[in-house]
């Protein structure tokens, strides 16, 4: 004779989170790890290194009077009027105001301080 027994099926009385709790925890740890990896790998990408516009091997004496060509950078004698390398004019090309004495740019037509017409 075959006896049939009634089986009790285990039912989750606390909800799906209780059954899948370990799975949710693993997924959460994976997401946090992924975000931490992104932050670690992205640290230096938004902060580029500073680029300096000078030659660290060049020795400069600030007390020495120099006449450097603005066009080619050649160091000329203090009394030179033209560059001995490229021939550029070394004299300042600024205009002086006859009324107030202010120094203005070469292409200025009027004084930047008093408005007087420059000649």
pLDDT in tens, 79-105: 888 888 998 888 767 788 888 888 888
> Would you say 61 and 75 are in contact if contact means Cβ atoms under 8 Å apart?
no
pLDDT of the residue at 93: 72
For residue 82, what pLDDT is reported? 87
pTM of the model: 0.29
pLDDT digits (tens, 9 = 90+) for 30-80: 999 999 988 887 765 555 566 666 666 766 665 555 678 878 888 888 888
Q: Are 97 and 115 in contact (CB under 8 A)?
A: no
* Beta-bridge mates of residue 103: 96
Identify which of 97, 72, 98, 99 has the alpha carbon closest to the alpha carbon of residue 87. Answer: 72
Number of residues that this document lists for the chain: 119
């Amino acid at each position: 004779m075959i006896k049939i027994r009634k089986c009790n099926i285990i039912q989750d009385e606390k909800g799906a989170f209780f059954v899948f709790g370990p799975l949710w925890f693993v997924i959460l740890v994976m997401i946090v790890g992924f975000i931490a990896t992104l932050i670690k790998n992205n640290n230096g990408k938004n902060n580029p290194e500073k680029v300096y516009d000078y030659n660290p091997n060049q020795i400069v004496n600030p007390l020495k009077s120099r006449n450097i060509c603005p066009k080619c950078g050649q160091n000329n004698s203090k009394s030179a009027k033209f560059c001995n390398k490229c021939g550029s004019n070394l004299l300042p090309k600024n205009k002086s105001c006859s009324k107030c004495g202010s120094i203005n740019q070469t292409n200025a037509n009027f004084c930047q301080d008093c408005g007087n017409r420059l000649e």
